[in-house]
Every structure is written in C-alpha cells, then in structure tokens.
C-alpha cells in the first residue's frame, strides 16, 4: 500500500488501552479531505455483537473500506464464536489474499475485553506491547502519551481520553470529539 495513494492515513486517531480488567477504545471524530475538515463528529469506534458476544472495533482509513472489513470480521466471529484471535487471523488472511479485499485501505483495532489486536492489510494481526495500541495519523502521539500514563493510578478510560487530548493538540487531522467504548473481560 503506497502511502501517497492512501490519503486516509492522515485523518484519524484511534487508541486502545487495556488496564484493570477493562479495554477502552477511543477515536476522534474528524474526517478530513486533504486539508479540509469535512466532518467533526464521525463515529470511528463501534461495538459489534456477533453471536451475542461483544467486540469493540476502531478504524482508521477509508470509511467504506473499514465497514467492509468490520462486516467480514463479524462473519468470522459468527463462524468462530468467542475466538477473537482466530477470527482476526482469518480476516487478515482473506484481506491479504482476496483480489478485492487486498485493495482496501484501512486498519483496525479490535478487542473482546481480554485480547487487544491491530489488524492490517499487510496480513498482520498484532498484539501490542504495554497493553496499548494506536493507529492513524495521530496514533504515535496518543501511543506515547498513553505509555507515559499507563503506570499511573489512572484507569484505562482516563488514560485513553488524556492520550487522545494530547494527540488532538498535536495532530491537525485529529479532533477532541471522542467516541469511547469500554469492554471488560
């Protein structure tokens, strides 16, 4: 995926923080087209309930592509209930191998409250170190802020919110209108 043909990389920040038996996924609401803000209140974090089991997913990149991937992930979870890792690996394999899917330009953070993964179109299913995952244009800023806060007495949601506020102050493609979803083991 050439970054120059994928302007979606420069349009969001998503963070997942696991601490104290909870995982919080937070995403900003800004949608940018080039240097223009198109919308400030988009929801890039979703709760999925395939087979009655909750999974929280956040996405960066093309919205239509992300929704296609989320639909596929739901089907994988329905086929393998309670097996998030397996569903993620199956999605990543399809994403990498399928002629249509391999052109999709997005990244996902997914969690069932126990496991936390980043899924990419390169076929990666990554479990982040330090219980923090971040993607999107402001992802590295949010990641650094959350890493600095993770050993504090703050809970997962507070860490995610503070990290997103720092990212929004630094990254012009990230705003402070957050969607936050929390899920326990």
Binding site: which residues? 168, 171, 174
Element (H, E) at 139: helix 139-149
84-97 helix and 63-79 helix, angle to the nearest 10 degrees: 130
Of the residues 12, 36, 41, 120, which is catalytic? 12
- Positions at the binding site for Na(+): 168, 171, 174
**Under a CB-based contact definition with an 8 Å cutoff, are residues 121 and 105 in contact?**
yes
**How far is C-alpha 70 from the geometric centre of its chain's CA atoms?**
11
Using CB atoms within 10 Å of the CB of residue 53, give its burial: 0 to 12 exposed, 13 to 18 middle, 19+ buried.
middle
Active site residue 12: yes
How far apart (Å, rounded) are the C-alpha atoms in residues 21 and 81?
A: 21
Pairing of strands 31-33, 36-39: antiparallel
Active site residues: 12
């Amino acid at each position: 995926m050439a970054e120059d043909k994928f302007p979606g990389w420069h349009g969001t920040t998503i963070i997942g923080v696991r601490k104290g038996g909870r995982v919080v996924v937070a995403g900003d609401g800004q949608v940018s087209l080039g240097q223009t803000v198109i919308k400030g209140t988009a929801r890039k974090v979703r709760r999925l309930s395939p087979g009655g089991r909750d999974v929280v997913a956040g996405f960066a990149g093309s919205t239509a592509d992300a929704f296609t991937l989320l639909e596929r992930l739901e089907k994988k979870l329905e086929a393998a209930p309670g097996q998030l890792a397996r569903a993620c690996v199956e999605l990543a394999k399809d994403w990498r191998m399928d002629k249509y899917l391999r052109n999709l330009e997005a990244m996902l953070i997914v969690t069932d409250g126990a496991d936390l993964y980043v899924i990419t179109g390169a076929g990666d299913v990554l479990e982040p170190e330090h219980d923090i995952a971040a993607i999107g244009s402001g992802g590295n800023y949010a990641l650094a802020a959350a890493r600095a806060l993770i050993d504090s007495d703050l809970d997962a949601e507070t860490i995610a919110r503070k990290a997103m506020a720092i990212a929004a102050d630094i990254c012009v493609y990230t705003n402070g209108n957050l969607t936050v979803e929390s899920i326990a083991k």
